[in-house]
Amino acid sequence: MYNQDFPVENMMEVVELDLSKLLVDQLEEKFGDPTFVYPEGFKRKIQVPISFAKQLYSFYIESVFDQMEATFGNETVNSLKAEDEEFSELLYEAEVDSAAMEELQKPSTSGNVITKRKIRKNKKKKQVTVYKNITPEELAFQMELEKLSQNFPLIEKETIMQLLQADNYEETVNALLTIHLPTNDNITDIKKPPLNEDLLKEIQDDFLMYKNQLKSKQVYGEDYRKDAETYFKNRKKLYEKANNFKQKRLMGVAEFYLDLAIKQTLYYEQASSRAVLAFINSNSKQSRNNTLNLHFLRLVEAKTAVDIFLDENINSLRESGSKTKSQLQIITGRGKHSPDGKAVLRPAIQSLLKERGLKFNLLNEGLIAVKITKASKLTVELKK
């Protein structure tokens, strides 16, 4: 809805702005006369109506939060979570294929016939419970137990577990050899633990480095942003290791690193959310109540926030002595990161403003200027 009343601020009220050289160069390139040589040595300062300066600032804030939404928004987090799920499924399928191959290589008897469906079910159950939230020592124990159970299938798993808990891996193998012969004739290979000392030390060092919980409360949004970037980099490093161990067929280690990576995704999401809230709170304090930022809000939350924002400013106008009208600005965002890339908030907020009978201008695809007066109705008055 376009109105000739904009801007509603007093045009005589001005503010001085100091322009950067880059901005002046851009303005000259866009609008300047290419045949005119501008003199050097003059200050790049201009005086503009305060209403224009406010709009300029709002354009800047709208752009910043649009970029933040691209970096920290649900689209990015959901993409990371989808990658986590996809890699988890790849490990799961690789384990199923490996287990099926092992079964095919065994002599076919009525006792060991097993379908791929059963393998899939058993592996899925193990995957959910065994390699999540464990220490490197617990990982080594689980992998040793699994290797020995595969090589000594006729010995009860509970017996193998008790022997492992009572002694080291090599002595456990020696004890099992006195009970029953293994399916694998290569005794030397069986006596090699799944994780050698060097590999276990590497895993322990990584565990201590990346098991960190979300950092304590920060003061500034920029600090949360740096934390989020750190978690993102950590996640990438852990994924590289998980994939490396997957290639080496060390699926237990790969799943262990995947679990560490998934935790970094969680920390990234939480730090990003805190960064957004800190930036929004900081911006709200600086906007002097004439600008409302709706980035990162859901539709219901945004509509409620707009009603409260409008009511507070209408009441402020009514309580003022001389001021009869005011211009507010609502940053809706452009909707580029919404599902299907279609704006959700902007059209909904425009409809809300129409329902309230308010005049407004669309300054750009993500910024609305709204005119209110002392006669503008409060939310409770609309419902009467």
Mean pLDDT score, 4-19: 65
Q: How far apart (Å, rounded) are the C-alpha atoms in residues 317 and 220?
A: 33
Per residue in 189-223, pLDDT tens?
999 999 999 999 999 999 999 887 666 666 677 78
Candidates 146, 125, 75, 120; CA nearest to 336 is 75
Per residue in 40-74, pLDDT tens?
777 888 888 877 777 787 777 667 666 666 655 55
**What b-and-e string marks burial along 72-98, b requiring 16 or more CB atoms within 10 Å of the CB?**
bbbebbeebeeebeebbeebbebbbee
H/E stretch holding 272 reads helix 251-286
The overall average pLDDT reported for the chain is 80
Mean pLDDT score, 292-298: 76
pLDDT at residue 126 greater than cutoff 60: no
**What b-and-e string marks burial along 259-287, b requiring 16 or more CB atoms within 10 Å of the CB?**
bbbbbbbbbbbbbbebbbebbbeebeeeb
Q: How far apart (Å, rounded) are the C-alpha atoms in residues 311 and 328?
A: 12
pLDDT at residue 128 greater than cutoff 50: no
pLDDT band at 119 (very low <50, low <70, confident <90, very high): very low
Burial zone of 246 (CB within 10 Å; 0-12 exposed, 13-18 middle, 19+ buried): buried
| pLDDT for 296 | 67
Mean pLDDT score, 304-328: 86
pLDDT band at 124 (very low <50, low <70, confident <90, very high): very low
pLDDT band at 228 (very low <50, low <70, confident <90, very high): confident
14-72+296-382, which class in CATH? Answer: alpha beta
Q: How far apart (Å, rounded) are the C-alpha atoms in residues 77 and 104?
A: 41
| Torsion sign (Cα): 114, 117, 119, 121 | negative
Q: Pick the more confident residue, 237 or 81.
A: 237
H/E stretch holding 99 reads helix 74-105
Helices and strands, counts by H and E, the chain: 14, 6
| pLDDT for 138 | 94
Q: Pick the more confident residue, 327 or 51.
A: 327
| pLDDT for 72 | 54
pLDDT at residue 246 greater than cutoff 50: yes
Mean pLDDT score, 8-14: 59
Residue with tokens 């193990």: 126
| pLDDT for 52 | 79
Residue with tokens 């000739």: 4
Type of residue found at 249: R
| Ranges assigned E (strand) in the chain | 14-18, 45-49, 291-293, 325-331, 359-364, 367-373
- CB atoms under 10 Å from CB of 316, counted, come to 13
Domain chopping of the chain, boundaries:
14-72+296-382, 74-103+113-275
8 Å CB contact between 308 and 82: no
8 Å CB contact between 330 and 349: yes
pLDDT at residue 165 greater than cutoff 70: yes
